[in-house]
Structure formats: structure tokens, C-alpha cells
Amino acid sequence: MDWLLCIADNIILDKVWANLVPATVFANQWNVTRFPSAPTTTTWHSIVSHLPHPSADDFLLRSAEAPVYQTPSFMAFLNSPPDIPSAWPRSYFLRQVTSVVVITLIGIHILYFLGAWLSYQFIFDKRMMKHPRFLKNQVRQEIICSLKAFPGITALTLPFFQAEVMGYSCLYDDPKKYGYGYLVFSAVW
């Protein structure tokens, strides 16, 4: 999940978070002049100004430090930070949790509908739909039941994904770091 979050941050999420929670909204509170101050008179900016955010010192520290999930070297060309940063840096907990939830929900929908469509097209025996016990809207009801389960599934997997993003897992990115023998041994055990 950390690689996926890193890719999503580099491609789109940095820009999305910079537009949703711009640091310029809190610039006056933080007395920060390193980015241009934008007018904060819009309704959205007044709503954003009430969101939780790191303190000025914490913001500057988190903006300067690299997040736990680093951009892999082969994806370095994707780095394109926005002109005005987000008030929620990549290492901010609420930003990470929200991003992971959105990525998980998008991914689970893509996997479900792709798998269900392929199964329906190539595996499912459509003659079963003519059976007397087959309900009128059974396919629709099954899809709705599955969609209602996705938020619960996301809530159950979120702690594990978040722990991995924060660096609390024993996963590693480079098999050469410990050797290929360890890779095979760790997969078995």
C-alpha cells in the first residue's frame, strides 16, 4: 500500500490535497511567508480553516522531512510537487488515513466489478437464470449487498494498511537488501 500511496501522491493526491486543504489558509496563523498568501474569503476556505491541522512548527518539520514511504528510484520522474503545498503534509495522519480509504475503496470497486463481469461473461451459466428459484432481481440484489459490504471491509483492512504506510511492517522493497534466500524463506514462513 505504501508504494500505491506514493504513486497516487506523486500523480494526483499532492495536487488534490493542495487544493482541498491549502496551506495558505493557515499561513496567517503560522506566520509563514515561504509561499504566497491567497485570499481566504471563500466559503470553502472558511470551512477548511476549522479543520484539524498541524501546528506551525509541526507543519514546517513535516514538510521538510521525507515521509516513511519513499518514491522508488524508478518512479522519480513522477515527482511534481504543487506550487502551494497542502496544510496536511504527506506524513500527516489524517491525510494518510483519508488517502488510504479512498484508494482502498476505488481499488475494491475496480476489483469487484472487473472480477464479477469476467465471471459473469465467461463462467456463469446463464441458463441458471431461468430456474424457478432464481429471484427476479437477484443479480442486482447481490451487487447491492456486495457494495454495502465494502465500507466494512475497508474499515477492517484500514489498520493494517495504515500500519504499513507508517512503517510498522516487516515488508521490504528491495530483495537485494537481505538476499534472495531470505525472500524465499520469508515467503514460506
Q: Which residues share a beta bridge with 22?
A: 86
- Do the Cβ atoms of 68 and 39 come closer than 8 Å? no
pLDDT of residue 187: 75
Q: CA Rg, the chain, in Å?
A: 22
- 80 — alpha (psi -120 to 50), left (phi > 0) or beta? beta
Helices (H), ranges, the chain: 2-8, 14-20, 27-30, 43-48, 56-64, 93-122, 138-165, 180-188
pLDDT of residue 167: 81
> What is the Cα–Cα distance from 66 to 72, expressed in whole angstroms?
13
> What is the Cα–Cα distance from 22 to 90, expressed in whole angstroms?
13
The residues near 37 (Cβ < 8 Å, ≥ 6 apart) are 24, 27, 28
pLDDT of residue 38: 52
Q: Which residues share a beta bridge with 86?
A: 22
DSSP 150: H
pLDDT of residue 112: 96
Strand, helix or coil for residue 70: coil
pLDDT of residue 149: 96
pLDDT in tens, the chain (189 residues): 777 888 888 888 888 988 888 877 776 655 555 555 555 567 777 777 777 777 766 666 666 566 556 666 666 676 666 677 788 888 888 999 999 999 999 999 999 999 999 998 999 887 888 888 888 888 899 999 999 999 999 999 999 999 988 888 777 767 777 888 887 887 777
